[in-house]
Amino acid sequence: MRDPFRMDTVPDTQGDPFRPGDTWTPYTGEPRPTRTTTVVVTDRYTPLPPPPPPTPPDRPKRFFVSGYGGLSFQLTTTSRRLSIMNGFQGGLLLGERLSIGLAFRRLSHRFGPDIRGTSGDRYQLGMVFGGGEIGVVVVRHGRFEMGIESLFGAGVACVNKLVKRNGHTDSKCVDAVRMFVIEPGAFIHVNLTNWARVGFDGGYRFVVREGFKPPNDFRLSGPYFGANLEFGWFRRG
């Protein structure tokens, strides 16, 4: 009797021994039909914006150095009389706040009558001085700045005798004294352009001097109020 479960004895088509009439067909190697599904996925790619350029390294700030020069006018008093002084100044601007320079002042007019001598001669008072000037800016806003300053200098005061010659009045110094001057004060500057500015200043002039010939005694110290017109380069950074 043949064994139905042995591979070498199972025919190509065989029925189920337990269910008569059912048959199965073994795989013969022929391809079976297949179904292919294609899925297309569309992805919209939005490019990112380019990164910002790198920040350039901070350059070291250059130390500001410039020069200035101009004319000055002062309203002051000399020996209890209203007087006018004029002169000029110039120097260097260093950094954001400091200025160092030189200044010259001259008494140009003293209001009131001439000084009368005991002999009836007429005299006038003269004064010239100059020295170093230093200033420090305290407040700056735009083209406006305010600060403090002082002049340290020396000069000469003189009693001039007036002499009429050929219809002209000449003066001759008959009593000269040396003096030391300190002018502390405050200033205001307004830059009209990058190269021109106007200034206003005020303070007190302290004078230490030699004595005049007796009985002369003229007071040279006094308050002052001035105006300046200066040219240079005033734009910082």
Give 100-137 pLDDT, tens digit per residue: 999 999 999 999 888 888 777 888 899 999 999 999 99
E-state strands within 79-195: 81-94, 98-110, 115-116, 122-141, 144-165, 168-191
Task: Report the domain count for the chain.
Answer: 1
Pick the closest to residue 205 from 177, 187, 182, 178 (CA basis). 182
Q: Does 38 reside within a domain?
A: no
Q: Does 110 reside within a domain?
A: yes
Q: Which two tokens stand for residue 85?
A: 């002084």
Q: Does 37 reside within a domain?
A: no
Q: Does 176 reside within a domain?
A: yes
d(CA 138, CA 149): 10
Instruction: Write the CA distances from 199 to 25, 176, 202, 217, integer angstroms.
Output: 119, 33, 10, 34
Instruction: Tell me how many helices (H) and strands (E) the chain has.
Output: 0, 11
Q: Does 119 reside within a domain?
A: yes
Q: Does 132 reside within a domain?
A: yes
Q: Does 17 reside within a domain?
A: no
Domain hosting 153: range is 65-232
Average pLDDT in the chain? 85
H or E element at residue 228: strand 222-232
Q: Does 26 reside within a domain?
A: no
d(CA 102, CA 106): 14
CATH number, residue 199: 2.40.160.20
Give 151-201 pLDDT, tens digit per residue: 999 999 999 888 877 767 788 888 899 999 999 999 999 999 999 999 999
Binned at pLDDT 50, 70 and 90, residue 17 comes out as low
